[in-house]
């Protein structure tokens, strides 16, 4: 079988529309060749090119109509919201404002908005719904804990330069204001989740740990507490001030990164020398409803004098 003719240089490394391919001299037969993927009708991508989530979004942009933008789960991923890992079979969510018709392209979930409060912004060079609207649109499809974690992410201000990505993208106050004028699908779920959103939360695992503690009847810990003593400076994930008890999620990077591990050891030793006790919770303990993690924390709370029903 003869090799297909080389693609023009402009089309080798990025998705292109069939109309662009024809404009560059590609025949219908060349556009049907097996070395070209077809992520969406009317789009071609060279088989050696990236097939990531971002690449799929940019592939669709080659055929998007004026006024279309990404929304719902797709917009959330583009904002970096922590969600389940992307599946190549997941449809893109593409929206438009009424009276324009919703997209009917295969493997695309089209939406038509009549909400005048939806704003279209740019994230990574792509048109997306604003963070507050994006979060509200997730409310009817995410579990409660995941919806809280999504908002925790959007309102967080990362402490470390390496983690700064433009956040906070919104505020708790703006989410509340946006919801006050929203009466569409998912409003009830969003209102319930908003009550539990906190600033300064570093990860979705931290959100899940905090909610697990409260849902099992323990007092809610304070989030994002700054500790300074001399040259020592640290941020505590979850903290019970009256008990001087710190609760933290122990991610795998703390064990696989030698430099980070040594920093953590020094940090924990210093906190303990200051009279604070630290309970670290990992993935296994937080699995399911987090019962193992809750029992571990409650045991240490009782050992430090906590009486059920009292503050901590």
pLDDT at 252: 66
* CA–CA–CA angle 88, 94, 96 (5° rounding): 175
One DSSP character per residue, 241-289 reads GGGTEEEEE--THHHH-HHHHHHHHHHHHHHHHTT-EEEEE-HHHHSTT
Digit-coded pLDDT (tens) for 218-234: 999 999 999 998 889 99
- In CATH terms, the fold of domain 204-303 is Endonuclease; Chain A (3.40.960)
Q: Rounded CA gap, 157 and 166, in Å?
A: 9
Mean pLDDT value across residues 126-148: 98
**Per-residue pLDDT at 196 exceeds 70:** yes
- Report the pLDDT value the prediction gives residue 162, as an integer from 0 to 100: 65
Q: Per this entry, what is the length of the chain? A: 312
**Which tokens is 111 given?**
């939406």
Average pLDDT, the chain: 93
| Residue 5 pLDDT | 87
SS (H, E, C) 41-100: CCEEEECCCCCCHHHHHHHHHCCCCCCCEECHHHHHHHCCCCCCCCCCCCCEEEEEECCC
Other Cβ atoms closer than 10 A to 80: 15
pTM score, whole prediction: 0.91
C-alpha distances out from residue 12 to 6, 19, 50, 124, 268, Å: 9, 15, 11, 21, 52
Residue 254 has pLDDT above 70, yes or no: no
- How many CB atoms within 10 Å of residue 214? 14
Where in the chain is CATH 3.40.960?
204-303
pLDDT of residue 77: 98
Burial class (CB in 10 A: 0-12, 13-18, 19+), 107: middle
User: How many other C-beta atoms can be found within 10 angstroms of the C-beta atom of residue 36?
Assistant: 22
Q: Shortest CA distance to 198 belongs to which of 182, 215, 175?
A: 175
Q: Which residue do the tokens 């430090």 mark? A: 304
Say if residues 177 and 225 touch (Cβ distance below 8 Å). Answer: no
Interatomic CA distance for residues 25 and 28, integer angstroms = 10
Question: Which of 172-181, 235-244, 259-268, 289-298 is the least confident region?
Answer: 259-268
């Amino acid at each position: 079988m003869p090799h297909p003719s080389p693609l023009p240089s402009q089309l080798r490394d990025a998705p292109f529309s069939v109309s662009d391919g024809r404009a560059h001299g590609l025949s219908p037969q060349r556009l049907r060749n097996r070395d070209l993927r077809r992520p969406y009708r009317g789009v071609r991508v060279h088989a050696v090119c990236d097939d990531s989530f971002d690449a799929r979004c940019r592939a669709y942009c080659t055929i998007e109509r004026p006024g279309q933008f990404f929304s719902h789960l797709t917009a959330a991923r583009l904002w970096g919201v922590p969600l389940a890992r992307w599946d190549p079979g997941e449809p893109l969510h593409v929206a438009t404002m009424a009276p324009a018709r919703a997209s009917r392209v295969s493997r695309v979930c089209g939406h038509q908005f009549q909400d005048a409060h939806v704003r279209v912004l740019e994230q990574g060079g792509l048109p997306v719904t604003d963070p507050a609207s994006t979060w509200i649109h997730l409310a009817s499809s995410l579990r409660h804990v995941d919806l809280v974690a999504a908002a925790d992410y959007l309102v967080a201000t990362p402490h470390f330069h390496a983690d700064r990505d433009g956040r906070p993208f919104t505020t708790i106050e703006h989410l509340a204001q946006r919801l006050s004028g929203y009466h569409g699908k998912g409003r009830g779920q969003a209102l319930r989740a908003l009550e539990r959103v906190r600033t300064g939360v570093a990860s979705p695992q931290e959100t899940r740990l905090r909610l697990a503690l409260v849902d099992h009847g323990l007092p809610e810990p304070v989030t994002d507490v700054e500790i300074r003593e001399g040259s020592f400076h640290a941020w505590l994930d979850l903290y019970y001030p009256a008990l001087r008890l710190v609760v933290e999620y122990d991610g795998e990077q703390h064990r696989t990164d030698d430099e980070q591990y040594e920093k953590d050891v020094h940090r924990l030793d210093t906190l303990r020398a200051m009279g604070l006790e630290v309970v670290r919770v990992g993935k296994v303990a937080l699995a399911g409803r987090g019962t193992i993690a809750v029992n571990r924390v409650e045991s240490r709370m009782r050992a430090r004098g906590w009486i059920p029903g009292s503050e901590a």
